[in-house]
Amino acid sequence: MATVVLVGSDVTLLEGVAQTLAAAGHRPRLSRTVTEVRELASVSPPLVLVAERTLGADSRRIPLAPGGALVLFHSAGEPDAALPLAVQRAALAELTLPLERQRLVALVNYVEERAARAGRASKPTPPEHRAV
């Protein structure tokens, strides 16, 4: 179960994608601004950050969990503007949402499996070590 943070201006689109991710067993969180995400990530870094393409440069500065990934998205009707090379290299993929929702789920599953194989997955605290 991966923590996925979705950030962008289209709340309706993000809500639909969040429902798809939740149905696949992940923990999605929504945000409208990069500032909110930075505050959230400082406490609990997400494994996957799904950011609107226009926020790509700002999204690179958000801390991710070890083994985490940045995924950029745009809507179907948006024109394709060139992204800086640093942003292109930092992003695992660029998707057209909501058309590629299932591809997003597959990417999140892949990142989660990759982190687990590399020993970077979050390990649950055993019951005997939990605070009461």
Q: What pLDDT score does 129 carry?
A: 57
pLDDT, mean over the chain: 88
Question: What pTM was estimated for this model as a whole?
Answer: 0.85
Q: What pLDDT score does 50 carry?
A: 97
Instruction: Say which residues have a Cβ less than 8 Å from residue 78's Cβ, sequence separation at least 6.
Output: 53
Could you give the CA distance from residue 17 to residue 95 in angstroms, rounded to a whole number? 12
What would the pLDDT profile of 34-93 be if each residue is shown by its tens digit? 999 999 898 999 999 999 998 888 888 899 999 999 999 998 887 777 888 999 999 999
CATH architecture of 3-129: 3-Layer(aba) Sandwich (3.40)
Q: What pLDDT score does 56 carry?
A: 83
Per domain, the residue ranges of the chain are: 3-129
